[in-house]
Structure 1
Amino acid sequence: MKKENMDKKFQLAAHEAQARLLEAAALEGKEAMARYGTGASGLTEEQAEASRDRYGANKVTREKKKSVAARLVEAFVNPFTVILFVLAGVSTVTDIILPLRSGNMDDFNPVTVCIILTLLLISGVLRFVQETRSGDAAAKLLELITTTCTVIRDGGKKKEIPLQDVTVGDLVWLSTGDMVPADLRILDAKDLFVSQASLTGESAPQEKVPYKVDASGDKAVTELSNLAFMGTNVISGSATGLVLGIGDHTLFGSMASSMAQEAPETNFTKGVNSVSWVLIRFMMAMVPLVFFINGFTKGDWVSAFLFAISVAVGLTPEMLPMIV
């Protein structure tokens, strides 16, 4: 239910972003500026601050960092380790608890349980520590990256500011090599070509013009030539654009937010899990078969059960989780 609500939220955000873009595309440049309360010299710092308080920072929702408890659970719980935990539990009953209750210390053998639990502990700790260290290293690298853009404020002055400080109503100056920081209505352009591959997959750059266009047809919003979108980049030329939407309220942001809920499994993880399920299927087939064959042929069901458990332990490479 929660996922369905989140999906509806993102669909609504995408619909609102497209409606806003279509409306701006059908307006003349001066009309669009008036609609967003912007003059030819850009916003003042006071206006920009008020807009930022209203619309928030120009940030796209990313996957939330998992808590320590969640990362610990993921480090110790996967199909492969579940097999070993089950085997350790059964071995605890057959090799430790039952011999202690019966007083038959000849059958007391905690070695198997100790080996399995030790390897599980080492593999889980290794995975938790390594993933924590790699996540911290990636976060530190991201902190070193500062992305800026050029805006026109305070009487027409060009000013370079951090990307996250761009706000609705700002006038943005674009030139060759710049990343488009938000959804823009192009107000003035000179030989402007923008690559929209990140949104549409089209490798050929699209020319952008400042003129009013008819947005009432069947054209996709990304095909409108007087709009530029967050996440695209300038191939050549220069332009001035009016910021229509920022962060999650952009076309790119609504798409990115819908994909930021849960990281997809890598091919490596899928491969390890597939091996685990192969082992589980082998056990489900072999262990009952060995158990019943030994039980019917020898008549000793307890020994048959212990032998079946030994087969299950033998089928499971205990070192694999630690190596992975």
Structure 2
Amino acid sequence: LRETYVCGGVGRSSGERAHYQSAQSMSFAVSTEDLSKWVRECFENSLVGQVKEKVLPGLEKLGGQDGLISSLKTNTAQGIRDSEVETRRSVFGSNYVEPEPPTSIWELAWDALQDPCLIFLCFAALVSFFVGVIFNEGMEWLEGIAILSAVIVVVTVSAVNDYQKDQQFRELSSIKDDVHVFVIREGTKKKISTHDIVVGDVVMLSTGDMVVADGVVFEKNDLGISEAMLTGESVIKRKGAYNIAPTEPADKAVSIAPTVYAGTFVQEGEGRMVVLAVGRSTYQGLMEEKMKEDEESDSVLQTKLNAMTDLITKAGMAAGGVTVGILLFRFALGFLNQACCKEAWDHSIHHLEYLRMFVIGVTVFVVAVPEGLPLAVTIALAFSVKKMMRD
């Protein structure tokens, strides 16, 4: 019977426990920052002159390609041990990137309500409602209720639609990101989730695979990688030891490089790589973080819709202002010429007349900016998205 221990690994034999403890005390000659920096330099300096000046000196500092792999305490033939996984994950990070917390439906509703058109419509609705109630103008207060109801419908539909799209996007992302790859651990070929990949893993690549982490190939292969996801170029990149032809000029492109990047695809061939960076430390992860820090820009459609909304809002405000101005001028001119309002000035009567003019101006604005416009655009976009999903 083999001896097992509860502490330091449940169900492990004495030999496995010693193995486990040695894994817990592992130290590495390179850091996550060193690896990420070198991978980034490889991606951003792909020309002959740049490789000679920046990439190769950085690789030499890491001990060359063999020294780099050795400093990660991995074996290209045997891979890493299962007992090392948690230690490597704590040192170099996880390949699972925690998604951003979902936006609540109330926050989405508040964002939708920030539209200047809707804000002005709310103001117009409140004015129309209180004028109808305070001055007992029959059923005119219903106009304010109708406008306010339309605004509530627009905000609700927009918020619910955005919330549903966010939930669907998260579900699709979780399925897309959780793929399985083959690695070599303890000399055995194993199929694991990409979320379980750690730095030092030996990953097997074949045609059609997505590269799930930044790494370096260490043997002769026929790998052809598409980096269009990162560069936008459709040219297939060959992978292997740096192939720098001694030709001039120095800006001639390097035909072969050893580094592969997360988010790219294997177009042809097979090979193996040692993982250098995972998760947020990959080049793709760093770029995504940088994009999040930048201010979000609207799409072309959103820009055009915003411009149209602003134009209609300004035109409606101008028309309402001109209408109120004409009514005020007509009232003042008639009062001075005693063509109307021959009775003495009465605050309760004449102030109400001014208020009526203001309500007319607001009504002109409401007519000029139909409250159904944002709702129509939202419904049209939602319908288009659902149709594309079916197709």
TM range (shorter): 0.7 to 0.9
**Is 1:119 the equivalent of 2:150?**
yes
The offset of 1:318, in angstroms, is: 2.1
Aligned equivalent of 1:32: 68
**Is 1:294 the equivalent of 2:339?**
no
**TM-score, normalisation: structure 1:** 0.81
Q: For the Cα contact (< 8 Å) 1:62–1:257, is it kept in 2?
A: no
Which of 144, 150, 154 is residue 182 of structure 2 equivalent to? 150
**Is 1:240 the equivalent of 2:276?**
no
**TM-score, normalisation: structure 2:** 0.68
The offset of 1:285, in angstroms, is: 1.8
**Is 1:279 the equivalent of 2:316?**
no
> AA paired with 2:354?
W
The offset of 1:15, in angstroms, is: 5.0
Residues 58, 287 of structure 1: alpha-carbon distance in 2 compared, 3 angstrom cutoff: same
3-state DSSP of counterpart to 1:272: helix
Following the alignment from structure 1 to structure 2, what is the Cα–Cα distance between the partners of residues 251 and 298? 70
Query: RMSD of the alignment, in Å?
Result: 3.2
Larger Rg over CA atoms: 2
Following the alignment from structure 1 to structure 2, what is the Cα–Cα distance between the partners of residues 150 and 117? 58
Query: What stretches of structure 1 of length at least 5 have no aligned partner?
Result: 1-11, 100-104
Aligned equivalent of 1:251: 283
Q: For the Cα contact (< 8 Å) 2:129–2:140, is it kept in 1?
A: no
> AA paired with 1:67?
S
Alignment of 1:153-232 (within 5 A): 153-154=185-186, 156-210=187-241, 225-232=257-264
Following the alignment from structure 1 to structure 2, what is the Cα–Cα distance between the partners of residues 113 and 172? 65
Residues 211, 317 of structure 1: alpha-carbon distance in 2 compared, 3 angstrom cutoff: closer
Q: Which runs of 4+ in 1 moved over 6 A?
A: 218-224
The offset of 1:139, in angstroms, is: 3.1
Residues 294, 320 of structure 1: alpha-carbon distance in 2 compared, 3 angstrom cutoff: same
Aligned equivalent of 1:8: none
Following the alignment from structure 2 to structure 1, what is the Cα–Cα distance between the partners of residues 42 and 236? 23
Aligned equivalent of 1:308: 361
Following the alignment from structure 1 to structure 2, what is the Cα–Cα distance between the partners of residues 204 and 44? 37
Q: For the Cα contact (< 8 Å) 1:63–1:260, is it kept in 2?
A: no
Query: What stretches of structure 2 of length at least 5 have no aligned partner?
Result: 1-33, 44-54, 333-352, 379-391
Moved more, 85-94 or 179-188: 85-94
Q: For the Cα contact (< 8 Å) 2:240–2:256, is it kept in 1?
A: no
Which digits, 9 at most, give the CA deviation of each residue in 1:225-256, with x for residues without a partner? Answer: 11111111111111111111111111111111
Q: For the Cα contact (< 8 Å) 1:295–1:301, is it kept in 2?
A: yes
Moved more, 205-214 or 219-228: 219-228
3-state DSSP of counterpart to 2:152: helix
Residues 263, 302 of structure 1: alpha-carbon distance in 2 compared, 3 angstrom cutoff: closer
> AA paired with 2:289?
S
The offset of 1:260, in angstroms, is: 3.6
Which digits, 9 at most, give the CA deviation of each residue in 1:12-61, with x for residues without a partner? Answer: 99757525984348754321211111123111011122101223321356
Query: Percent identity of the aligned residues?
Result: 25
Residues 144, 62 of structure 1: alpha-carbon distance in 2 compared, 3 angstrom cutoff: closer
Residues 207, 54 of structure 1: alpha-carbon distance in 2 compared, 3 angstrom cutoff: same
Which of 41, 59, 66 is residue 96 of structure 2 equivalent to? 59
